[in-house]
């Protein structure tokens, strides 16, 4: 969430920057600043009214004590009117504050200057590519056919138990899935991230804290009776661990990792681009989250990008990195890099990670601050990335490592799963 003070200070600059997102901000900024002025003037009136009322109450007490009952009763009438005024002002203040908050929730983050303008994923910029695309034998198959051939993932059984988008991993498929999770976590801890096991349900405050609410409410599974939400990513509980915290610069860097299942009520569509593991409602992911000072956050972002590069290099999967354009940038992000693995059997790129710097956008909602070297309070910067999301990584492995004899297991995973071939 943007800070009102920053909107007032950088109004014209923000209006121009948000045009990269195809978001027209001028009218909404005018309304935000108008509401903020009303809020501040109402607060000032309320403060004066309460102060006057308190002062008169003390005087009334002294008058009664001194036997000046008539004067005291006259002042009591005045305090009665002041109490009515303060009630009206409090209601106005609460209403204005709520309107202001709801309006601020509708404004996306300001994109970083390096974000290109654009309307959709077609306008994203490819900034890096690595790895050789393997040449597969004639008749090579996409992962959903391989899963059936080798009996390692059962999509129909998942559909029977729950519904579409909830696959069942079996035998070597389940063991390979577990191997990926363990390896990703080990690589993260080696890189200095502290591992956490996190709740899979979060409250409404957590959803608002990281920006899933109200922006992505329709994409989250809601347990209505308890007013809890199934997490769409470990980012939500992990980042909310630091909600309402006041830190010092000595607390940084903060580096967290964790494995969780993730749940997303994404709108259904049909075709090869969403078949098999390409789009799921439940999937596994290892997340990395960092909390940083404002000065160090972009160096931290570079470090996160390098970490994911190394994972894909060790897996020997061909991949590329995209800088997302304004039209494809997530609501809360200032800058996002997407990693995509090339699926040789599908002849297309599959997104397997997004790494983002949210700058102060989440921290303002979270009230996550730190004291800088001058002992002044500043909002922290928050960052997160998938390292990695398993379904499309697994799809890439199955498709790119398929041979006439079976599916080879990437060398780095063999010690984790105990076999080197799925046949």
Q: What is the pLDDT of residues 108-132, one digit of tens each?
A: 999 999 999 999 999 999 999 999 9
Residue 270 has pLDDT above 50, yes or no: no
Q: What percent of the chain has pLDDT over 70?
A: 98
* DSSP bridge pairs for 288: 257, 385
Q: What is the DSSP letter of 165?
A: T
Task: Tell me what the mean pLDDT of segment 191-202 comes to.
Answer: 98
Helix (H) or strand (E) segment spanning residue 416: helix 414-417
Task: Enumerate the CATH 3.30.930.10 domain ranges in the chain, comma separated.
Answer: 121-422
Whole-prediction pTM: 0.93
Distance of CA 321 to the CA centre of its chain: 19
Domain with CATH 1.10.287 in the chain: 4-104
Average pLDDT over residues 59-80: 76
What's the pLDDT score for residue 272? 52
Assign a CATH topology to domain 4-104: Helix Hairpins (1.10.287)
Q: What percent of the chain clears pLDDT 90, i.e. is strictly above it?
A: 85
- Long-range own/partner contacts, residues 133-140 (CB < 8 A, 24 or more apart): 133/318, 133/342, 133/344, 133/400, 134/318, 134/344, 134/400, 134/401, 136/344, 136/345, 136/399, 136/400, 136/402, 137/403, 137/404, 140/344, 140/345, 140/399, 140/402
133 has pLDDT over 70: yes
- What is the rounded distance in angstroms from the CA atom of residue 236 to the CA atom of residue 253? 19
The CATH code that applies to domain 121-422 is 3.30.930.10
Q: Which range is least confidently modeled, 156-165, 272-281, 285-294, 382-391?
A: 272-281
d(CA 324, CA 310): 21
Q: What is the mean pLDDT of residues 350-359?
A: 97
At 367, is the secondary structure helix, strand, or coil?
Answer: coil
**Secondary structure class of 275 (helix, strand, coil):** coil
Q: State the Cα–Cα distance between residues 220 and 52, nearest whole angstrom.
A: 49
**Mean pLDDT rounded to a whole number for the chain:** 94
Report the pLDDT value the prediction gives residue 356, as an integer from 0 to 100. Answer: 98
- For residues 157-179, average pLDDT: 97
Position 318 pLDDT exceeds 70: yes
Q: What is the mean pLDDT of residues 315-344?
A: 97
pLDDT single digits (tens) 9-59: 999 999 999 999 999 999 999 999 999 999 999 999 999 999 988 888 787
């Amino acid at each position: 969430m943007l800070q009102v003070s920053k909107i007032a200070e950088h109004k014209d600059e923000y209006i121009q920057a948000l045009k990269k997102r195809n978001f027209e901000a001028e009218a909404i900024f005018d309304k935000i600043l108008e509401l903020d002025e009303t809020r501040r003037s109402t607060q000032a009136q309320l403060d004066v009214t309460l102060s006057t009322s308190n002062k008169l109450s003390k005087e009334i007490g002294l008058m009664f004590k001194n036997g000046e009952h008539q004067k005291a009763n006259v002042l009591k009438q005045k305090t009665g009117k002041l109490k009515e005024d303060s009630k009206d002002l409090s209601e106005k203040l609460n209403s204005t504050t709520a309107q202001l908050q709801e309006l601020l929730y509708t404004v996306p983050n300001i994109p970083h200057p390096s974000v290109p303008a654009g309307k959709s994923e077609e306008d994203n910029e490819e900034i890096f590519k690595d790895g050789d695309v393997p040449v597969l034998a004639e008749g090579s198959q996409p992962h959903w056919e391989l899963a059936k051939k080798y009996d390692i993932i059962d999509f129909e059984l998942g559909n029977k138990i729950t519904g579409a988008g909830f696959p069942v991993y079996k035998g070597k498929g389940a063991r390979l899935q577990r191997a990926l999770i363990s390896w990703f976590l080990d690589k993260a801890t080696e890189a200095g991230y502290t591992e956490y096991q996190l709740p899979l349900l979060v409250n409404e405050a957590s959803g608002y804290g990281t920006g899933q609410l109200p922006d992505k409410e329709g994409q989250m599974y809601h347990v209505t009776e308890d007013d809890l939400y199934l997490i769409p990513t470990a980012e939500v509980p992990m980042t909310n661990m630091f909600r309402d915290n006041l830190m010092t610069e000595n607390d940084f860097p903060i580096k967290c990792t964790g494995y969780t299942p993730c749940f997303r009520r994404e709108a259904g569509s049909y075709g090869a681009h969403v078949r098999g593991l390409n789009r799921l409602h439940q999937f596994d992911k290892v997340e990395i989250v960092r909390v940083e000072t404002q000065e160090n956050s972009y160096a931290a972002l570079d470090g996160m990008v390098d970490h994911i590069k190394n994972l894909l290099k060790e897996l020997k999967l061909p991949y590329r990195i995209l800088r997302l354009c304004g039209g494809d940038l997530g609501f809360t992000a200032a800058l996002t890099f997407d990693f995509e693995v090339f699926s040789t059997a599908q002849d297309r790129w599959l997104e397997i990670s997004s790494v983002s710097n949210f700058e102060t956008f989440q921290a303002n909602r979270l009230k996550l601050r730190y004291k800088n070297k001058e002992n002044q309070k500043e909002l922290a910067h928050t960052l997160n990335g998938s390292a990695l999301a398993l379904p499309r990584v697994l799809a890439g492995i199955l498709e790119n490592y398929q041979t006439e004899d079976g599916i080879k297991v990437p060398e780095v995973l063999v010690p984790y799963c105990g076999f080197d071939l799925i046949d």
